[in-house]
Amino acid sequence: KQEVTQIPAALSVPEGENLVLNCSFTDSAIYNLQWFRQDPGKGLTSLLLIQSSQREQTSGRLNASLDKSSGRSTLYIAASQPGDSATYLCAVNGPGANSKLTFGKGITLSVRP
């Protein structure tokens, strides 16, 4: 059974810092990996999706990488801002092309002004 781990559960950084959020998964036979953002009491917003054949995806100040063989992904946030404060969840699709996602428990990020 696929398991997704995100450590640490919480992170606090000063504004302007570059930071990396980590995600690991146990079964490397995935179809894609997604990073989501969740603000308190709200739904999830998709940030980046990396297909299994890709190594990374970029959107603005965000860059997500994928290393399938080692079962790891990272989300890099450049020049962090207080508005980046949220919970970031990693989710993998697979094994099997069944569209079901397995989520990590998320990392709650706080960016201090």
- Asked if 54 touches another protein (CB under 8 A), the answer is no
Query: What is the rounded CA–CA span in Å between residue 67 and residue 96?
Result: 18
Contacting range for another protein; rule: CB under 8 A; set: 13-21, 54-62, 75-83, 85-93:
85-93
Give the residue, chosen from 15, 100, 110, 112, that forms a contact with another protein under the rule CB under 8 A.
100
Give the residue, chosen from 12, 26, 46, 81, that forms a contact with another protein under the rule CB under 8 A.
46
Which residue number, 76 or 95, has a Cβ lying nearer to another protein? 95
Q: φ and ψ at 57, to 5 degrees?
A: -140, 145
Give the residue, chosen from 32, 63, 74, 85, that forms a contact with another protein under the rule CB under 8 A.
32
Helix (H, G, I), strand (E, B) or coil at 108: strand
- Asked if 2 touches another protein (CB under 8 A), the answer is no
CB 88 within 8 A of CB 109: yes
CB 54 within 8 A of CB 81: no
